């Protein structure tokens, strides 16, 4: 966090934030712009130094204060360089004209749609029970970009598929899908910790976040999120992170959608499952 990008040579494709004031402290480091208590950027310090548009851009990615500075490869979502992405970059620089031709070719999406419409054996799995004495906590979110509103829900079940309890919450001022994903994970983990549940399998459509938690060294772009999730999970004796598909997450998804689709803004925690989803959860138990 000792980088001085307002005086260093610019990184290709990036620039220093536009300064608001004519007089500027050239010895200012990124570390001085962080609120270490909250592990977030200091919004006041950013506003004192940079124009509002760049402050908004900076706030989209929060700093990682628990580790030394590190490099991130921008051509992979994970931030880790790979042979495949390096080869792609080298090839794209040499064959930009060919790439433009490929983009102009017809989409193969209609073919994919026909393949998925074929009547074959089931392609996707339903809910899978947790091992032994573990509990399975499925969670989901539904984000409305126009309203900056997110509905979130979790459903806790035992190995027999019986719903122990469930929760729902409406979140406002959610401005991006990445913010929504991190928020629903933190809220779900905090809920399990506050109710003193141990041996919990957290199951969600979180390939990137759970991949980063399980293998942080392979996902340097997500180290801030990893730190926040691990901090929230302290106090839960044993946790596991399981990536599932939307088809395996129907119950939590339906509850989350009730916020954005039906304007059910009341946040709550209740025993068992919602009455209006009794048939759904009964059918999933029968499938075990």
Mean local confidence (pLDDT), 96-102: 56
Mean local confidence (pLDDT), 25-38: 86
- CATH architecture of the domain with range 135-286: 2-Layer Sandwich (3.30)
Q: Give 268-274 contacts, CB < 8 A, sequence gap 24+.
A: 268/167, 268/168, 269/165, 269/166, 269/167, 269/191, 269/195, 270/165, 270/166, 270/167, 271/164, 271/165, 272/163, 272/164, 272/165, 272/166, 273/155, 273/163, 273/166, 274/166
Q: How far apart are CA 259 and CA 245, in angstroms?
A: 21
Confidence of residue 96 (pLDDT cuts 50, 70, 90): low
272 versus 31: the higher-pLDDT residue is: 272
Domain ranges of the chain: 1-63, 72-105, 135-286
The answer, yes or no, to whether residue 6 has pLDDT greater than 90, is no
CB 205 within 8 A of CB 184: no
Mean local confidence (pLDDT), 107-134: 69
Lowest-confidence region among 15-29, 178-192, 199-213, 262-276: 15-29
The predicted pLDDT at position 4 comes to: 53
Q: To the nearest whole number, what is the mean pLDDT of the chain?
A: 85
CB 81 within 8 A of CB 219: no
- DSSP, collapsed to helix, strand or coil, labels residue 257 as helix
The answer, yes or no, to whether residue 124 has pLDDT greater than 50, is no
Strand order in the sheet with 163-171: 239-243, 200-204, 135-144, 149-157, 163-171, 268-271
The answer, yes or no, to whether residue 271 has pLDDT greater than 50, is yes
Confidence of residue 11 (pLDDT cuts 50, 70, 90): low
Lowest-confidence region among 48-52, 193-197, 225-229, 239-243: 48-52
The predicted pLDDT at position 195 comes to: 97
Mean local confidence (pLDDT), 258-285: 95
pTM of the model: 0.71
The predicted pLDDT at position 107 comes to: 59
Percent of the chain at pLDDT above 90? 53
């Amino acid at each position: 966090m000792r980088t001085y990008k307002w005086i260093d040579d610019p990184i290709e494709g990036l620039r220093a934030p536009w300064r608001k004031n004519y007089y500027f402290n050239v010895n200012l480091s990124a570390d001085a712009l962080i609120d270490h208590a909250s592990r977030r950027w200091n919004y006041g310090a950013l506003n004192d130094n940079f124009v509002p548009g760049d402050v908004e851009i900076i706030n989209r990615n929060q700093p990682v204060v628990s580790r030394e500075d590190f490099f991130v490869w921008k051509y992979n979502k994970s931030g880790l360089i790979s042979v495949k992405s390096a080869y792609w970059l080298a090839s794209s620089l040499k064959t930009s004209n060919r790439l433009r031709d490929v983009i102009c070719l017809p989409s193969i999406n209609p073919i994919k749609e026909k393949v998925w419409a074929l009547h074959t054996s089931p392609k996707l799995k339903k809910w899978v029970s947790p091992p032994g004495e573990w509990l399975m906590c499925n969670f989901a979110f539904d984000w409305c970009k126009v309203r900056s509103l997110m509905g979130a829900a979790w459903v806790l079940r035992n190995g027999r598929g019986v719903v122990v309890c469930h929760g729902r919450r409406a979140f406002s001022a959610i401005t991006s899908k990445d913010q929504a994903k991190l928020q629903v994970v933190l809220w779900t983990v905090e809920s399990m910790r506050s109710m003193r549940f141990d041996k919990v399998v957290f199951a969600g459509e979180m390939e990137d976040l759970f991949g980063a938690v399980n293998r942080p060294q392979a996902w340097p772009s997500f180290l801030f999120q990893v730190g926040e999730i691990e901090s929230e999970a302290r106090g839960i004796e044993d946790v596991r992170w399981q990536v599932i598909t939307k088809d395996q997450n129907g119950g939590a998804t339906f509850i989350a959608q009730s916020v954005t689709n039906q304007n059910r803004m009341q946040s709550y925690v209740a025993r068992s499952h919602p009455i209006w989803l009794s048939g759904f959860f009964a059918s999933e138990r029968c499938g075990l």
